[in-house]
């Protein structure tokens, strides 16, 4: 079956994904917080970024390869850490990690994944990045770092844009709790999605296995205030300095929207900054990431990673043109898994690759470096 014939765009994959997973899972994957205006702003702001088409350029065969933090990649995209990936599709963390290893692209494992670093790390090969929601206790922090490093994760992501739980009202209305328990209408929803249900029966209901190893058993918690919040702290600059001293590999700080924050990062030994508004899931009054990106780019010489709102290769092109060095995708890969299982991952990658090439050809860009400065708003 040629998936491109029936599902040529990410929107097509997304529509199929919605039909194949229970409603409460969909609400977890696809929702944001508040009235979801930050989610909408991400899309609206990306759509305002335009390019002038070029003519009479002769043949254009774009080279999509890039270099980030001393490593070469065939495509300028990677897999963002997403909490509870295994809820969205059974065994998602390992499926994603294996695909990243096969493709040679970064894979980020979340602190609040449904699997542990020890379980996922061997699948990621040398492409593993570990995302840290900062625990308050130094001993727990150090043990988490040790476990991630021992499992083969070489790059650490410190997420700094979650000072406290966001409300995520749509997700809450979906009925999800932590740890996930099927009850009431959720049972009926699961029964309508046999592939998801059979996979979940085979692998077991997902839970925060890494976090649970540091917690005593307790009752059910709202899905937006899970056990991870009981461990984490809201980090400050001293925390960042201590983390830099404790971790001997590349360190990326995720959740940067202010230029003045980006300007300080090099002085703390940070290796890259990640412009993100948590895809609209954290603060409904945040600016669109593409609006913040040029200001951040102007204040740092560090590599700049970008996420939030990306729905195709054209959006990747927009981000690269506005100052990003690399783009990470979260929801997109999970739409692919939910729609087609493991074979959805290469299909999503091909959608982005084909779309990026097609749009670069329209402006005569032979390589990614040709994009810088070509966009306007």
The residues carrying an active-site annotation are 278
First to last CA, the chain: 40
Compute the half-sphere exposure of residue 251: CA atoms within 13 Å on the CB side of its CA: 19
Tokens linked to 120: 């996922």
Distance CA 7, CA 223 (A): 32
Give 221's strand partners: 178
Burial group, residue 201, by CB count within 10 angstroms (0-12, 13-18, 19+): exposed
Q: Name the DSSP class of 267.
A: G
**Which of helix, strand or coil describes residue 256?**
strand
Q: Which is nearest to 256 in space by CA: 268, 274, 233, 239?
A: 274
Q: Where does 232-288 have alpha helices with state H?
A: 237-246, 259-265
Distance CA 299, CA 259 (A): 6
Sign of CA dihedral 142, 147, 149, 150: positive
Q: Which is nearest to 252 in space by CA: 59, 29, 78?
A: 78
Q: For the chain, give the number of residues.
A: 377
Distance CA 66, CA 368 (A): 7
Tokens linked to 141: 């922090």
Q: Which is nearest to 316 in space by CA: 12, 66, 41?
A: 66
Q: Where does 204-236 have alpha helices with state H?
A: 209-212, 228-231
Output the CA torsion 130→131→137→142 (10° steps): 20
């Amino acid at each position: 079956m040629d998936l491109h014939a029936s599902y040529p765009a990410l929107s097509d994959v997304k529509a199929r994904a919605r039909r194949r997973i229970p409603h409460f899972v969909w609400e977890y994957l696809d929702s944001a917080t508040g009235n979801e205006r930050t989610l909408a702003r991400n899309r609206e702001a990306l759509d305002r970024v335009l390019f002038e088409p070029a003519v009479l350029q002769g043949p254009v065969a774009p080279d999509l390869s890039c270099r980030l933090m001393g490593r070469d990649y065939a495509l300028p995209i990677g897999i963002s850490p997403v909490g509870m990936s295994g809820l969205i599709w059974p065994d998602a963390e390992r499926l994603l990690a294996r695909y990243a290893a096969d493709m040679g692209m970064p894979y980020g494992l979340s602190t609040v994944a449904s699997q542990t670093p020890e379980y996922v790390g061997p699948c990621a090969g040398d492409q593993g990045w570990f995302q840290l929601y900062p625990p308050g206790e130094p001993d727990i922090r150090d043990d988490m770092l040790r476990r991630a490093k021992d499992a083969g994760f070489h790059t650490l992501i410190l997420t700094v844009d979650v000072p406290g739980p966001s409300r995520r009202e749509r997700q809450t209305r979906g009925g999800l709790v932590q740890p996930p328990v099927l009850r009431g209408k959720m049972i009926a929803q699961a029964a309508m999605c046999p592939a998801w249900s059979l996979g979940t029966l085979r692998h077991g209901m997902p839970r925060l296995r890494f976090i649970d190893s540091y917690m005593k058993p307790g009752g059910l918690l709202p899905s937006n205030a899970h056990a991870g919040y009981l461990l984490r702290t809201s980090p400050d600059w001293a925390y960042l300095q201590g983390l830099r001293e404790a971790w001997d590999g590349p360190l990326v700080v995720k959740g940067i929207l202010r230029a003045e924050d980006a300007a300080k990062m090099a002085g703390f030994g940070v290796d890259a900054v990640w412009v993100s508004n948590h895809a609209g899931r954290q603060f409904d009054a945040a600016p669109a990431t593409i609006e913040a990106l040029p200001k951040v780019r102007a204040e740092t010489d560090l590599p700049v990673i970008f996420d939030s709102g990306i729905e195709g290769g054209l959006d990747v092109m927009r981000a690269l043109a506005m100052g990003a060095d690399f783009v990470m995708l979260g929801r997109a890969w999970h739409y692919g898994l939910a729609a087609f299982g493991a074979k959805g991952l290469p299909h999503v990658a091909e959608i982005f690759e084909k779309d990026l090439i097609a749009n670069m050809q329209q402006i005569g860009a032979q390589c990614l470096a040709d994009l810088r400065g070509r966009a306007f708003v």
